[in-house]
Amino acid sequence: MKHQRSTAQWREMDAAHHLHPFTDTASLNEQGVRMITHADGIYLWDSEGNKILDGMAGLWCVNIGYGRKDLPEVAKRQMEELAYYNTFFKTSHPAVVELSHLLAEVAPKGFDHVFYTNSGSESVDTMIRMVRRYWDVKGKPEKKTLIGRWNGYHGSTIGGASLGGMSYMHEQGDLPIPGIVHVQQPWHYKYGKGMSADEFGKLAASWVEDKILEVGADKVAAFVGEPIQGAGGVIIPPATYWPEVERICRKYDILLVADEVICGFGRTGHWFGHQQFGFTPDIFTTAKGLSSGYMPIGAVFVNNEVAATLAAGGDFNHGFTYSGHPVAAAVAHANVKALRDEGIVAAVHEDTGPYMQKRWREAFSRFEHVDDVRGVGLIQAFTLVKDKASQTLFDNWGEIGLMCRDIFFKHGLIMRACGDHIVSAPPLIISKDQIDELIATAVKCMEIFEQQLKERGLA
Protein backbone atom coordinates (compact mmCIF):
# COMPACT_ATOMS: atom_id res chain seq x y z
CA MET A 1 0.00 0.00 0.00
CA LYS A 2 1.45 3.42 -0.92
CA HIS A 3 1.82 5.44 2.24
CA GLN A 4 1.14 9.11 1.96
CA ARG A 5 3.44 10.29 4.76
CA SER A 6 7.07 10.08 5.82
CA THR A 7 8.10 8.45 9.09
CA ALA A 8 8.94 11.87 10.46
CA GLN A 9 5.46 13.18 9.65
CA TRP A 10 3.82 10.15 11.27
CA ARG A 11 6.01 10.52 14.33
CA GLU A 12 5.11 14.19 14.66
CA MET A 13 1.39 13.51 14.31
CA ASP A 14 1.54 10.57 16.72
CA ALA A 15 3.29 12.71 19.32
CA ALA A 16 0.69 15.43 18.83
CA HIS A 17 -2.42 13.28 19.24
CA HIS A 18 -1.89 9.71 20.38
CA LEU A 19 -1.75 8.55 24.01
CA HIS A 20 -0.15 5.09 24.12
CA PRO A 21 -0.89 2.28 26.64
CA PHE A 22 1.61 1.58 29.42
CA THR A 23 3.81 4.40 28.12
CA ASP A 24 5.76 7.35 29.49
CA THR A 25 4.44 9.68 26.82
CA ALA A 26 7.02 12.44 27.33
CA SER A 27 9.90 10.00 27.04
CA LEU A 28 8.36 8.29 24.01
CA ASN A 29 7.84 11.58 22.21
CA GLU A 30 11.49 12.49 22.67
CA GLN A 31 12.56 9.46 20.63
CA GLY A 32 9.48 9.01 18.43
CA VAL A 33 7.56 5.85 17.69
CA ARG A 34 8.54 3.03 15.37
CA MET A 35 5.90 2.91 12.68
CA ILE A 36 4.91 -0.67 11.86
CA THR A 37 3.32 -0.56 8.43
CA HIS A 38 2.73 -4.18 7.42
CA ALA A 39 3.30 -7.80 8.34
CA ASP A 40 3.35 -11.29 6.88
CA GLY A 41 3.74 -14.71 8.53
CA ILE A 42 6.03 -14.08 11.49
CA TYR A 43 7.56 -10.85 10.14
CA LEU A 44 6.79 -7.16 10.51
CA TRP A 45 8.03 -4.25 8.40
CA ASP A 46 8.43 -0.70 9.64
CA SER A 47 8.03 2.54 7.70
CA GLU A 48 11.77 2.57 6.94
CA GLY A 49 11.54 -0.84 5.30
CA ASN A 50 13.24 -2.73 8.12
CA LYS A 51 12.17 -6.39 8.41
CA ILE A 52 11.57 -7.59 11.97
CA LEU A 53 11.04 -11.14 13.28
CA ASP A 54 8.12 -10.92 15.68
CA GLY A 55 9.06 -13.29 18.50
CA MET A 56 6.03 -12.08 20.46
CA ALA A 57 3.15 -12.55 17.99
CA GLY A 58 2.19 -8.92 18.57
CA LEU A 59 1.13 -9.10 22.18
CA TRP A 60 1.02 -12.91 22.49
CA CYS A 61 -2.01 -12.84 20.22
CA VAL A 62 -1.31 -13.41 16.49
CA ASN A 63 -1.44 -17.17 16.83
CA ILE A 64 -2.32 -17.78 13.18
CA GLY A 65 0.37 -15.45 11.84
CA TYR A 66 0.14 -12.20 9.89
CA GLY A 67 -1.03 -11.72 6.33
CA ARG A 68 -3.84 -14.28 6.07
CA LYS A 69 -5.95 -13.72 2.95
CA ASP A 70 -9.01 -15.59 4.21
CA LEU A 71 -9.71 -13.54 7.34
CA PRO A 72 -9.99 -10.17 5.54
CA GLU A 73 -12.30 -11.81 2.99
CA VAL A 74 -14.50 -13.15 5.78
CA ALA A 75 -14.57 -9.73 7.42
CA LYS A 76 -15.49 -8.02 4.13
CA ARG A 77 -18.31 -10.44 3.38
CA GLN A 78 -19.71 -10.23 6.90
CA MET A 79 -19.47 -6.45 6.95
CA GLU A 80 -21.39 -6.27 3.65
CA GLU A 81 -24.02 -8.73 4.88
CA LEU A 82 -24.48 -7.57 8.49
CA ALA A 83 -21.87 -5.14 9.80
CA TYR A 84 -23.50 -4.89 13.17
CA TYR A 85 -26.41 -6.01 15.22
CA ASN A 86 -26.54 -6.61 18.92
CA THR A 87 -27.24 -9.78 20.89
CA PHE A 88 -29.41 -8.03 23.51
CA PHE A 89 -33.23 -8.17 23.61
CA LYS A 90 -33.68 -11.73 22.41
CA THR A 91 -31.76 -11.26 19.15
CA SER A 92 -28.79 -13.10 17.68
CA HIS A 93 -27.19 -13.50 14.26
CA PRO A 94 -25.62 -16.34 12.25
CA ALA A 95 -21.97 -15.32 12.80
CA VAL A 96 -22.10 -15.49 16.60
CA VAL A 97 -24.18 -18.68 16.57
CA GLU A 98 -21.71 -20.45 14.28
CA LEU A 99 -18.79 -19.26 16.42
CA SER A 100 -20.48 -20.45 19.62
CA HIS A 101 -21.07 -23.87 18.08
CA LEU A 102 -17.45 -24.15 16.97
CA LEU A 103 -16.10 -23.03 20.36
CA ALA A 104 -18.17 -25.70 22.09
CA GLU A 105 -16.49 -28.22 19.77
CA VAL A 106 -12.91 -27.15 20.55
CA ALA A 107 -13.54 -26.54 24.28
CA PRO A 108 -13.03 -29.34 26.77
CA LYS A 109 -16.05 -31.54 27.47
CA GLY A 110 -18.69 -29.85 29.65
CA PHE A 111 -18.03 -26.32 28.40
CA ASP A 112 -20.97 -25.68 26.07
CA HIS A 113 -21.59 -22.00 26.80
CA VAL A 114 -19.67 -18.78 26.09
CA PHE A 115 -20.25 -15.10 26.88
CA TYR A 116 -18.69 -12.58 24.49
CA THR A 117 -16.61 -9.50 25.23
CA ASN A 118 -14.22 -7.24 23.34
CA SER A 119 -10.97 -7.95 25.16
CA GLY A 120 -9.24 -10.00 27.79
CA SER A 121 -9.89 -7.35 30.43
CA GLU A 122 -13.59 -7.36 29.64
CA SER A 123 -13.57 -11.17 29.84
CA VAL A 124 -12.00 -10.94 33.29
CA ASP A 125 -14.44 -8.30 34.51
CA THR A 126 -17.30 -10.37 33.10
CA MET A 127 -15.98 -13.38 35.03
CA ILE A 128 -15.82 -11.35 38.26
CA ARG A 129 -19.45 -10.36 37.90
CA MET A 130 -20.45 -13.90 36.88
CA VAL A 131 -18.71 -15.47 39.85
CA ARG A 132 -20.41 -13.14 42.32
CA ARG A 133 -23.78 -13.64 40.58
CA TYR A 134 -23.28 -17.41 40.71
CA TRP A 135 -22.98 -17.38 44.49
CA ASP A 136 -25.97 -14.97 44.80
CA VAL A 137 -28.09 -17.49 42.91
CA LYS A 138 -26.71 -20.29 45.08
CA GLY A 139 -27.97 -18.39 48.13
CA LYS A 140 -24.45 -17.58 49.38
CA PRO A 141 -24.14 -13.86 48.53
CA GLU A 142 -21.37 -13.39 51.09
CA LYS A 143 -19.07 -15.50 48.94
CA LYS A 144 -17.67 -12.48 47.08
CA THR A 145 -13.89 -12.49 47.54
CA LEU A 146 -11.67 -13.47 44.62
CA ILE A 147 -8.09 -14.63 45.14
CA GLY A 148 -5.45 -13.78 42.54
CA ARG A 149 -1.67 -13.95 42.55
CA TRP A 150 1.01 -11.36 42.97
CA ASN A 151 2.62 -10.71 39.58
CA GLY A 152 -0.39 -12.20 37.83
CA TYR A 153 -1.80 -10.13 34.96
CA HIS A 154 -5.52 -9.96 34.23
CA GLY A 155 -5.87 -6.72 32.26
CA SER A 156 -6.35 -3.01 32.77
CA THR A 157 -10.01 -2.55 33.69
CA ILE A 158 -10.70 -1.76 37.33
CA GLY A 159 -11.55 -5.41 38.00
CA GLY A 160 -8.78 -6.91 35.89
CA ALA A 161 -6.12 -4.58 37.25
CA SER A 162 -7.30 -5.31 40.80
CA LEU A 163 -7.26 -9.06 40.30
CA GLY A 164 -3.82 -8.80 38.71
CA GLY A 165 -0.93 -8.61 41.13
CA MET A 166 1.09 -5.82 39.56
CA SER A 167 1.75 -3.36 42.39
CA TYR A 168 2.74 -0.57 39.98
CA MET A 169 -0.79 -0.78 38.57
CA HIS A 170 -2.45 -0.84 42.00
CA GLU A 171 -0.61 2.37 42.93
CA GLN A 172 -2.41 4.21 40.11
CA GLY A 173 -6.09 4.52 40.91
CA ASP A 174 -6.31 3.17 44.41
CA LEU A 175 -6.53 -0.53 43.55
CA PRO A 176 -7.37 -3.29 44.28
CA ILE A 177 -11.10 -2.79 44.70
CA PRO A 178 -12.58 -4.41 47.83
CA GLY A 179 -13.07 -8.17 47.75
CA ILE A 180 -9.89 -9.02 45.86
CA VAL A 181 -6.85 -10.49 47.63
CA HIS A 182 -3.61 -12.09 46.46
CA VAL A 183 -1.28 -14.96 47.25
CA GLN A 184 2.35 -15.32 46.27
CA GLN A 185 3.06 -16.60 42.76
CA PRO A 186 4.43 -20.15 42.15
CA TRP A 187 7.89 -18.92 41.08
CA HIS A 188 10.10 -21.85 42.06
CA TYR A 189 13.38 -20.11 41.13
CA LYS A 190 12.84 -17.28 43.62
CA TYR A 191 10.60 -18.77 46.32
CA GLY A 192 11.54 -22.43 46.29
CA LYS A 193 15.31 -22.42 46.67
CA GLY A 194 16.54 -25.81 47.82
CA MET A 195 13.15 -27.45 47.29
CA SER A 196 12.26 -29.96 44.60
CA ALA A 197 9.75 -28.81 42.01
CA ASP A 198 7.14 -31.19 43.38
CA GLU A 199 7.64 -29.99 46.95
CA PHE A 200 7.50 -26.34 45.93
CA GLY A 201 4.37 -26.86 43.83
CA LYS A 202 2.58 -28.26 46.87
CA LEU A 203 3.90 -25.43 49.08
CA ALA A 204 2.77 -22.74 46.63
CA ALA A 205 -0.67 -24.35 46.40
CA SER A 206 -0.86 -24.39 50.20
CA TRP A 207 -0.64 -20.58 50.13
CA VAL A 208 -4.07 -20.65 48.46
CA GLU A 209 -5.48 -22.78 51.30
CA ASP A 210 -3.90 -20.46 53.87
CA LYS A 211 -5.59 -17.45 52.24
CA ILE A 212 -8.95 -19.23 52.05
CA LEU A 213 -8.76 -19.98 55.78
CA GLU A 214 -7.63 -16.39 56.52
CA VAL A 215 -10.56 -14.86 54.59
CA GLY A 216 -12.98 -17.62 55.56
CA ALA A 217 -14.12 -20.20 53.00
CA ASP A 218 -17.68 -18.95 53.39
CA LYS A 219 -16.52 -15.58 52.01
CA VAL A 220 -14.36 -16.80 49.11
CA ALA A 221 -15.99 -16.93 45.67
CA ALA A 222 -13.13 -18.02 43.41
CA PHE A 223 -9.44 -18.52 42.84
CA VAL A 224 -8.17 -17.06 39.56
CA GLY A 225 -4.88 -17.78 37.82
CA GLU A 226 -3.17 -17.94 34.46
CA PRO A 227 -2.05 -21.54 33.76
CA ILE A 228 1.31 -19.94 32.97
CA GLN A 229 1.73 -16.32 34.12
CA GLY A 230 2.46 -14.52 30.86
CA ALA A 231 3.11 -10.80 31.37
CA GLY A 232 4.53 -11.76 34.77
CA GLY A 233 7.44 -13.35 32.93
CA VAL A 234 6.34 -16.85 31.84
CA ILE A 235 6.20 -18.28 35.35
CA ILE A 236 5.58 -21.98 34.81
CA PRO A 237 4.33 -23.70 37.97
CA PRO A 238 5.62 -27.14 38.98
CA ALA A 239 3.44 -30.07 37.85
CA THR A 240 2.06 -30.54 41.37
CA TYR A 241 0.74 -26.98 41.68
CA TRP A 242 -2.47 -26.85 39.67
CA PRO A 243 -3.89 -30.30 40.64
CA GLU A 244 -3.32 -29.34 44.27
CA VAL A 245 -4.98 -25.93 43.78
CA GLU A 246 -7.94 -27.70 42.18
CA ARG A 247 -8.16 -30.14 45.10
CA ILE A 248 -8.16 -27.23 47.56
CA CYS A 249 -10.85 -25.33 45.62
CA ARG A 250 -13.10 -28.40 45.55
CA LYS A 251 -12.47 -29.00 49.28
CA TYR A 252 -13.72 -25.50 50.21
CA ASP A 253 -16.40 -25.18 47.47
CA ILE A 254 -14.65 -22.34 45.67
CA LEU A 255 -14.88 -21.75 41.92
CA LEU A 256 -11.65 -22.30 40.00
CA VAL A 257 -11.01 -19.88 37.14
CA ALA A 258 -8.26 -20.16 34.53
CA ASP A 259 -7.30 -16.97 32.72
CA GLU A 260 -6.47 -18.37 29.27
CA VAL A 261 -6.10 -15.04 27.48
CA ILE A 262 -2.47 -15.91 26.64
CA CYS A 263 -2.42 -19.70 27.11
CA GLY A 264 -5.59 -20.32 25.12
CA PHE A 265 -5.96 -21.40 21.49
CA GLY A 266 -2.85 -23.50 21.15
CA ARG A 267 -0.10 -21.49 22.84
CA THR A 268 1.06 -24.42 25.02
CA GLY A 269 0.39 -27.07 22.36
CA HIS A 270 -3.01 -27.80 23.89
CA TRP A 271 -6.14 -25.90 22.94
CA PHE A 272 -6.14 -24.47 26.46
CA GLY A 273 -3.40 -24.13 29.04
CA HIS A 274 -5.28 -25.88 31.82
CA GLN A 275 -5.16 -29.07 29.73
CA GLN A 276 -1.36 -28.84 29.79
CA PHE A 277 -1.37 -28.79 33.59
CA GLY A 278 -4.08 -31.39 34.17
CA PHE A 279 -6.74 -29.36 35.93
CA THR A 280 -10.32 -28.46 35.11
CA PRO A 281 -11.55 -24.96 35.88
CA ASP A 282 -15.20 -24.02 36.27
CA ILE A 283 -14.77 -20.93 34.11
CA PHE A 284 -12.01 -19.78 31.77
CA THR A 285 -11.44 -16.40 30.15
CA THR A 286 -10.08 -15.93 26.63
CA ALA A 287 -9.29 -13.27 24.01
CA LYS A 288 -6.04 -12.83 21.94
CA GLY A 289 -5.71 -16.16 20.06
CA LEU A 290 -9.51 -16.38 19.69
CA SER A 291 -9.20 -14.07 16.66
CA SER A 292 -5.39 -14.00 16.45
CA GLY A 293 -5.69 -10.27 16.93
CA TYR A 294 -7.36 -9.70 13.56
CA MET A 295 -10.43 -8.35 15.37
CA PRO A 296 -10.97 -7.41 19.04
CA ILE A 297 -13.00 -10.16 20.70
CA GLY A 298 -12.99 -12.10 23.96
CA ALA A 299 -15.05 -15.00 25.28
CA VAL A 300 -15.77 -16.37 28.74
CA PHE A 301 -16.29 -20.16 28.76
CA VAL A 302 -18.44 -21.47 31.61
CA ASN A 303 -19.06 -25.10 32.48
CA ASN A 304 -22.58 -26.45 32.22
CA GLU A 305 -23.23 -26.25 35.97
CA VAL A 306 -22.24 -22.58 36.10
CA ALA A 307 -24.32 -21.90 32.98
CA ALA A 308 -27.35 -23.62 34.50
CA THR A 309 -26.95 -21.73 37.78
CA LEU A 310 -26.69 -18.36 36.03
CA ALA A 311 -29.75 -19.27 33.96
CA ALA A 312 -31.69 -20.20 37.08
CA GLY A 313 -31.07 -16.69 38.32
CA GLY A 314 -33.04 -15.01 35.52
CA ASP A 315 -31.55 -11.86 33.97
CA PHE A 316 -27.77 -11.62 34.22
CA ASN A 317 -27.51 -7.82 34.07
CA HIS A 318 -24.23 -7.53 32.23
CA GLY A 319 -23.03 -7.17 28.63
CA PHE A 320 -21.51 -4.93 25.99
CA THR A 321 -22.75 -3.19 22.84
CA TYR A 322 -20.31 -5.29 20.82
CA SER A 323 -20.76 -8.60 22.69
CA GLY A 324 -20.63 -11.15 19.85
CA HIS A 325 -20.02 -8.47 17.20
CA PRO A 326 -20.82 -10.05 13.80
CA VAL A 327 -17.54 -9.17 12.05
CA ALA A 328 -15.41 -10.10 15.06
CA ALA A 329 -17.36 -13.35 15.47
CA ALA A 330 -17.03 -14.26 11.79
CA VAL A 331 -13.28 -13.61 11.83
CA ALA A 332 -12.84 -15.52 15.09
CA HIS A 333 -14.76 -18.45 13.58
CA ALA A 334 -12.53 -18.55 10.53
CA ASN A 335 -9.45 -18.20 12.73
CA VAL A 336 -10.37 -21.02 15.14
CA LYS A 337 -11.47 -23.25 12.26
CA ALA A 338 -8.08 -22.74 10.58
CA LEU A 339 -6.18 -23.36 13.83
CA ARG A 340 -8.02 -26.68 13.99
CA ASP A 341 -8.42 -27.77 10.34
CA GLU A 342 -4.91 -26.72 9.25
CA GLY A 343 -3.48 -28.70 12.17
CA ILE A 344 -1.77 -25.63 13.62
CA VAL A 345 -2.47 -26.45 17.27
CA ALA A 346 -1.59 -30.11 16.67
CA ALA A 347 1.72 -29.11 15.08
CA VAL A 348 2.68 -27.04 18.13
CA HIS A 349 2.02 -30.08 20.30
CA GLU A 350 3.77 -32.66 18.14
CA ASP A 351 6.40 -30.82 16.14
CA THR A 352 7.35 -27.15 16.41
CA GLY A 353 6.70 -26.89 20.15
CA PRO A 354 9.07 -29.72 21.14
CA TYR A 355 11.59 -28.44 18.59
CA MET A 356 11.49 -24.90 19.99
CA GLN A 357 11.84 -26.15 23.57
CA LYS A 358 14.85 -28.31 22.67
CA ARG A 359 16.62 -25.56 20.70
CA TRP A 360 15.76 -22.88 23.29
CA ARG A 361 17.34 -24.87 26.14
CA GLU A 362 20.41 -25.87 24.06
CA ALA A 363 20.98 -22.26 22.98
CA PHE A 364 20.61 -20.31 26.23
CA SER A 365 21.57 -22.60 29.11
CA ARG A 366 25.26 -22.01 28.33
CA PHE A 367 25.20 -18.24 28.99
CA GLU A 368 26.85 -17.06 32.20
CA HIS A 369 24.05 -14.66 33.12
CA VAL A 370 21.09 -16.78 32.06
CA ASP A 371 19.27 -19.23 34.28
CA ASP A 372 15.90 -20.97 34.65
CA VAL A 373 15.62 -21.60 30.90
CA ARG A 374 12.04 -22.79 30.48
CA GLY A 375 9.04 -23.14 28.22
CA VAL A 376 6.29 -25.35 26.84
CA GLY A 377 4.71 -25.40 23.40
CA LEU A 378 5.56 -22.01 21.91
CA ILE A 379 5.86 -19.95 25.06
CA GLN A 380 9.38 -19.79 26.49
CA ALA A 381 11.64 -17.65 28.64
CA PHE A 382 14.82 -17.38 30.63
CA THR A 383 15.88 -15.19 33.53
CA LEU A 384 18.85 -12.81 33.45
CA VAL A 385 20.86 -13.39 36.64
CA LYS A 386 23.80 -11.68 38.26
CA ASP A 387 25.27 -14.94 39.52
CA LYS A 388 24.05 -18.33 38.36
CA ALA A 389 25.74 -20.45 41.01
CA SER A 390 24.03 -18.61 43.85
CA GLN A 391 20.89 -17.86 41.83
CA THR A 392 21.34 -14.16 42.55
CA LEU A 393 19.19 -11.77 40.54
CA PHE A 394 20.36 -8.36 39.32
CA ASP A 395 19.64 -5.27 41.41
CA ASN A 396 17.03 -2.78 40.10
CA TRP A 397 14.77 -5.51 38.75
CA GLY A 398 13.85 -4.80 35.14
CA GLU A 399 16.70 -2.48 34.15
CA ILE A 400 18.87 -5.28 32.76
CA GLY A 401 15.85 -6.79 31.02
CA LEU A 402 15.22 -3.58 29.08
CA MET A 403 18.91 -3.34 28.15
CA CYS A 404 18.75 -6.87 26.75
CA ARG A 405 15.45 -6.31 24.94
CA ASP A 406 16.84 -3.22 23.19
CA ILE A 407 19.71 -5.28 21.79
CA PHE A 408 17.20 -7.73 20.29
CA PHE A 409 15.20 -4.84 18.83
CA LYS A 410 18.35 -3.32 17.25
CA HIS A 411 18.99 -6.66 15.55
CA GLY A 412 15.49 -7.00 14.11
CA LEU A 413 14.03 -9.41 16.68
CA ILE A 414 11.13 -8.68 19.02
CA MET A 415 11.31 -10.41 22.39
CA ARG A 416 9.64 -9.20 25.58
CA ALA A 417 11.38 -8.21 28.78
CA CYS A 418 9.14 -8.84 31.77
CA GLY A 419 11.35 -7.53 34.53
CA ASP A 420 14.59 -9.45 34.03
CA HIS A 421 12.78 -12.35 32.37
CA ILE A 422 13.26 -12.51 28.63
CA VAL A 423 10.24 -14.12 27.04
CA SER A 424 9.13 -15.21 23.57
CA ALA A 425 5.79 -16.35 22.16
CA PRO A 426 5.93 -16.30 18.34
CA PRO A 427 3.03 -16.94 15.98
CA LEU A 428 2.09 -20.65 16.15
CA ILE A 429 2.74 -21.05 12.41
CA ILE A 430 6.49 -20.51 12.91
CA SER A 431 8.47 -23.17 11.00
CA LYS A 432 11.49 -25.07 12.26
CA ASP A 433 13.75 -23.05 9.96
CA GLN A 434 12.26 -19.86 11.37
CA ILE A 435 12.79 -21.17 14.91
CA ASP A 436 16.44 -21.66 13.96
CA GLU A 437 16.52 -18.09 12.65
CA LEU A 438 14.96 -16.70 15.85
CA ILE A 439 17.40 -18.66 18.03
CA ALA A 440 20.46 -17.72 15.95
CA THR A 441 19.63 -14.01 16.12
CA ALA A 442 18.87 -14.22 19.84
CA VAL A 443 22.15 -16.04 20.55
CA LYS A 444 24.09 -13.36 18.70
CA CYS A 445 22.27 -10.70 20.75
CA MET A 446 22.96 -12.52 24.01
CA GLU A 447 26.67 -12.60 23.20
CA ILE A 448 26.58 -8.83 22.65
CA PHE A 449 24.55 -8.46 25.88
CA GLU A 450 27.06 -10.37 28.01
CA GLN A 451 29.90 -8.39 26.44
CA GLN A 452 28.08 -5.13 27.33
CA LEU A 453 27.51 -6.34 30.90
CA LYS A 454 31.26 -6.75 31.29
CA GLU A 455 32.09 -3.43 29.61
CA ARG A 456 29.65 -1.62 31.91
CA GLY A 457 30.96 -3.36 34.99
CA LEU A 458 27.54 -4.82 35.68
CA ALA A 459 28.83 -8.34 36.04
Chain residues that interact with ligand PXG, rule: CB under 6 A? 59, 119-121, 124, 153-155, 160, 226, 230-231, 259, 261-262, 287, 416
Q: Is the dihedral of CA 83, 74, 263, 153 positive or negative?
A: negative
- Nearer Cβ to ligand PXG (298/347): 298
Find the shortest distance in angstroms from Cβ 65 to ligand PXG: 19
- Nearer Cβ to ligand PXG (59/215): 59
- Nearer Cβ to ligand PXG (415/453): 415
Answer yes or no: are the C-beta atoms of 452 and 384 closer than 8 Å: no
Q: Name the nearest CA neighbour of 173 among 163, 159, 160, 158.
A: 158
Residue closest to ligand PXG when measured from CB atoms: 120
- Nearer Cβ to ligand PXG (116/355): 116
- Nearer Cβ to ligand PXG (241/355): 241
Backbone angles phi, psi at 386, to 5 degrees: -75, -45
Q: Name the nearest CA neighbour of 184 among 165, 212, 158.
A: 165
Output the CA–CA distances (angstroms, integers) from residue 221 to 111, 115, 146, 260, in the order listed.
20, 19, 6, 19
- Nearer Cβ to ligand PXG (212/287): 287
- Nearer Cβ to ligand PXG (23/392): 23
- Nearer Cβ to ligand PXG (204/263): 263
- Which amino acid makes up residue 146? L
Find the shortest distance in angstroms from Cβ 355 to ligand PXG: 24
Find the shortest distance in angstroms from Cβ 56 to ligand PXG: 8
> Cα separation of 183 and 276, whole Å?
22
> Cα separation of 380 and 360, whole Å?
8
Find the shortest distance in angstroms from Cβ 128 to ligand PXG: 12
> Cα separation of 371 and 15, whole Å?
39
- Nearer Cβ to ligand PXG (198/406): 406
Output the CA–CA distances (angstroms, integers) from residue 352 to 93, 260, 270, in the order listed.
37, 21, 13
- Nearer Cβ to ligand PXG (264/269): 264
Answer yes or no: are the C-beta atoms of 57 and 415 closer than 8 Å: no
> Cα separation of 230 and 174, whole Å?
24
Find the shortest distance in angstroms from Cβ 416 to ligand PXG: 6
Find the shortest distance in angstroms from Cβ 45 to ligand PXG: 21
Find the shortest distance in angstroms from Cβ 202 to ligand PXG: 24
Find the shortest distance in angstroms from Cβ 186 to ligand PXG: 15
Beta pairing, strands 298-302 & 283-286:
antiparallel
- Nearer Cβ to ligand PXG (256/261): 261
Answer yes or no: are the C-beta atoms of 83 and 309 closer than 8 Å: no
Output the CA–CA distances (angstroms, integers) from residue 371 to 68, 315, 361, 386, 392, in the order listed.
37, 51, 10, 10, 10
- Nearer Cβ to ligand PXG (9/23): 23
